[in-house]
Structure 1
Amino acid sequence: MAALLSFDVRADSLEGTNGTTMTGKIVARDDKFVTIEILVSGKPTQRKIPVNLVKAITVDGKREVLGPGGVAKPGAPAGNTGVQRSRPEIEALIASAATPPDWLDAVQLNLPKSLDLSWPEKAEGPWNNQKNMGQYIWDVINTNPSKWREGVRLMHHVMDQNKADREMQMRASAALAGMYHHLFQDYPHAAYWFRKAGTRQDPVGLAECYWKLGNKAMAVELLTGLRSIPPTAIKLWADMGETAKAIQTGELFAKSGSADLGYLYSADALRLAGRYKEALAYYNKVLAVPDDKRNKRSKDRAKGAIEAIQLFDTLDIAKVADGTYTSSSLGYEAPVEIEVKVAGGKIEALKVTKHREKQYYASITDTPARIIAKQSVKGIDATSRATITSEAIITATAKALQSGQK
């Protein structure tokens, strides 16, 4: 699968209170929403963002701060602008998300007739993304941004068709929460549906919603109450600036029998904090774990991260000659290829020109935008649930920039 997504500093941009930036054309705004048109898979796509989730917009080169998230606190962790909300404010935001987005009514169901809406717990027969619901979501919805809204409509349809089935309601709620969280970064709706998911809830996803919405204390309270430790918790601790807690959790995870993942996520936490020497030590711990089929991907990630850090030490964007540079780095499925344009010692545009990633979620758009916004490849927060793709973009960009360094 290929994507051609470009970001140009001369275009309009929308900065979210969650730390992400979208670049394209602001086409409409009112007291409730800002609508921005971006390129997704080469096609213009409009996204309508609630004003309370917008930090600032830039139109024709003029930046306008819209809300309380507009001023970041010094030292705020990557991925968070410093906006703070009280628990009642968070609860009000989540309660308001009981109402679906205004675009939902206009979305039509567009399903293969062979799709089994009864959604058996265990898919029958060989892999068939035209029959099995989970495989349809994985292969067709998640990998096609033009179908993301259809995915939301589908989950509402499944719930409507199975109102008396509590288990089905929870499964569809969990899937819906994941779509709002991973695909749209719509954290009020994601949190609302995570809560509806019951025993199928993703507690780390819900904690991340609390943090991104502006209440770190609620996120910490939820994480510290977990009985089991998923590796995604390590990343969230790191994203929130709690590096020591991330390392502690990573070490516990490593001792539980997944040494490669525990060390890898600990290394990622140190890398995000700019503690590169310590990060390298942990990445080398990953490489020292005895080889088996399960840890090959972790080792590949560690090798890529070591390469990136070595590039960081010598890279100075101000010394990169004007021009357009290309490079690639291994993603989840295959190399991710990028093209970066530099002018006047600054990154002017960055695009992913080719990839075969499947579950890339928002990383293909968010990671280039974050690199341009920061004018650096250091300390870039990888997109949740798409860490490998994000890191591939960061490493490929570093390689491309170094090739043009004077």
Structure 2
Amino acid sequence: MKKILTGLAACSMLLLLSAAADAQDVVEFLTGARVEGKVESIDQTKKLVTFAALIGGRSLDRVYTYSQIHAVTYQGKRYVLNPKTDAPSAEPAKPDAGTGRTTASPAKVDVKSIIGEAGRTPPDWYNSTPLDYPPTLDLSWPEKPPGGWNSKKNMGQYVWSEINPNPSHWRGGVKLLHHLLAMHKDNAEVRTRVIRSLGNMYFNLFQDYARAAFWWEHGGVGPTDRQAVSLAECYFRLGDRAAAEAFLHDPDRSSRTPVSDRMIKLWADMGETDKAVKLARLYVRSGGSKFSAYLFAGDACRTVGRFKEAMAFYQEVIDSPNGSYRYADRDRTRARNNLDAVRRFELFDISKVADGTYTASSRGYEDEVHVEARVAKGRLESLRVTKHKEKQFYSSLTDVPQQIVEKQAVQGVDATSGATITAEAIINATAKALSQ
């Protein structure tokens, strides 16, 4: 133990001398779980390690006791605190069903603990966010409010029309829902509505997968509920693939889980392109809309470079009769834009684009989404959305351009969950702008 403390003392001294490290630090737990991020501090007196854990693409501050930890890796040096007697066996690598590439299974993560810790603590901005809402708002939140649409009075409509489309209101929206939880502590029906809405906000607006999962779990979300696929995505993003798959219909196995078109996208995001394609066909055979299913299937194929299949799915959408589907014209336009974008994808090479500023637009959920791309010295320097009429865009207006700039390509960019149509429009408009 003396040797361990000496190692930790050296580690603490390094923390004082260096503000940051290029390499990821790692905490390995006695349970076999591990998490990457940055060691912030080590308190030898209290035997605590403060760690900024990188979970689901976000940094969350966590405090761990020595007794929980097997080893800490800081700036490339590994310090063992407690030996392990039974090391868990690693899962073998397996081929990706969509691409054929062999990928190693991710390290085991204690997702339940992550969800529990995040849910019990407020975001770092919560206490400084004021509680502010219209005095006309009916905080009783009846399931079916009387009268017509009135976003200044009806709570659900206020969330949809005033909070979701306005990023400056997002934090205040979370604060308001927590206020409603306290107000309705004895009303189980309203509390459940508020709790599930909190999950929606953390997922759609902040991509805070741990807190979204916490609130949806407390709201009793199950495999047949509307938020089920989103909860499955939370588990997947946090590192628990098995928990995610339990909420999905697997076309390769006997499954009682109802088929949903949104599952097609999640299977694709999980690297299972073949399952996504099979599920799309199963969904259509079961009476589901060919428009939504084959748009998702086409997107799944084009993300991994299976352009011929993607084009075939988009063409199926274009050729489909409207029937009773209310969004047929809009989705047919999306399919045409996607088909055009695929043709441009195959020719896309940012290094051959001349320096300058390029603009284009593509159809989103409400109307055209306009982008502006700036190229300098063979690199995409910036990309931004300059004009749109989208309402439920969530983080796609910033997240998708950031992905494209980071990748220096439009291929393989993930569409933001809950705002797939807006994200798709940004990708298509960028491809159009840079291939003129």
Class of the TM-score when normalised by the shorter of the 2 chains: 0.7 to 0.9
Kindly indicate whether residue 228 of structure 2 is the aligned counterpart of residue 203 of structure 1.
yes
Classify 1:226/1:322 alpha carbon distance in 2 versus 1 (closer, same or farther; 3 Å).
Answer: farther
Shift of 1:195: 0.4
Given that 1:85 and 1:215 are in contact with CA atoms closer than 8 Å, whether structure 2 keeps it comes out as no
Letter in 1 for 2:189: E
- The SS at the match of 2:137 is coil
Greater Rg over alpha carbons, structure: 2
Classify 1:55/1:112 alpha carbon distance in 2 versus 1 (closer, same or farther; 3 Å).
Answer: closer
- The SS at the match of 1:338 is strand
Cα RMSD (Å): 2.9
Shift of 1:82: 8.2
Classify 1:226/1:124 alpha carbon distance in 2 versus 1 (closer, same or farther; 3 Å).
Answer: farther
Match of 1:259 among 275, 281, 290: 290
Kindly indicate whether residue 407 of structure 2 is the aligned counterpart of residue 374 of structure 1.
yes
> What fraction of aligned residue pairs are identical, expressed as a percent?
46
Classify 1:210/1:65 alpha carbon distance in 2 versus 1 (closer, same or farther; 3 Å).
Answer: farther
Classify 1:309/1:297 alpha carbon distance in 2 versus 1 (closer, same or farther; 3 Å).
Answer: same
Once residues 418 and 261 of structure 2 are traced to their aligned partners in structure 1, the CA distance between those partners, rounded to angstroms, is 11
Q: Deviations over 1:330-371 (max 9, x none)?
A: 111111111111111110111111111100001001000000
Provide the residue aligned with 2:79 in structure 1. Answer: none
Given that 1:85 and 1:213 are in contact with CA atoms closer than 8 Å, whether structure 2 keeps it comes out as no
Given that 1:195 and 1:201 are in contact with CA atoms closer than 8 Å, whether structure 2 keeps it comes out as no
Classify 1:312/1:398 alpha carbon distance in 2 versus 1 (closer, same or farther; 3 Å).
Answer: same
Shift of 1:50: 5.7
Once residues 161 and 185 of structure 1 are traced to their aligned partners in structure 2, the CA distance between those partners, rounded to angstroms, is 26
Classify 1:156/1:377 alpha carbon distance in 2 versus 1 (closer, same or farther; 3 Å).
Answer: same
Provide the residue aligned with 1:31 in structure 2. Answer: 40
Higher helix share: 1
Structure 1 stretches lacking a partner, 5+ long: 1-15, 17-28, 33-48, 58-63, 67-72
Once residues 346 and 83 of structure 1 are traced to their aligned partners in structure 2, the CA distance between those partners, rounded to angstroms, is 33
Match of 1:218 among 224, 240, 243: 243
Shift of 1:140: 0.7
Higher relative contact order, chain-length normalized (CA < 8 Å, sep 6+): 1
User: Which 10-residue stretch deviates more, 255-264 or 228-237?
Assistant: 255-264
Q: Deviations over 1:242-281 (max 9, x none)?
A: 1111112111211232222222211121112210100110
Shift of 1:218: 2.0
For normalisation by structure 2, the TM-score amounts to 0.74
Once residues 378 and 311 of structure 1 are traced to their aligned partners in structure 2, the CA distance between those partners, rounded to angstroms, is 10
Once residues 262 and 53 of structure 1 are traced to their aligned partners in structure 2, the CA distance between those partners, rounded to angstroms, is 30
Kindly indicate whether residue 394 of structure 2 is the aligned counterpart of residue 361 of structure 1.
yes
Match of 1:102 among 91, 111, 124: 124
Once residues 188 and 84 of structure 1 are traced to their aligned partners in structure 2, the CA distance between those partners, rounded to angstroms, is 18
Shift of 1:385: 0.9
Once residues 58 and 386 of structure 2 are traced to their aligned partners in structure 1, the CA distance between those partners, rounded to angstroms, is 28
Provide the residue aligned with 1:118 in structure 2. Answer: 140
For normalisation by structure 1, the TM-score amounts to 0.79
Provide the residue aligned with 2:20 in structure 1. Answer: none
Alignment size in residue pairs: 346
Q: Deviations over 1:282-327 (max 9, x none)?
A: 1111112112434222212111111111111222211100111111
Kindly indicate whether residue 309 of structure 2 is the aligned counterpart of residue 307 of structure 1.
no
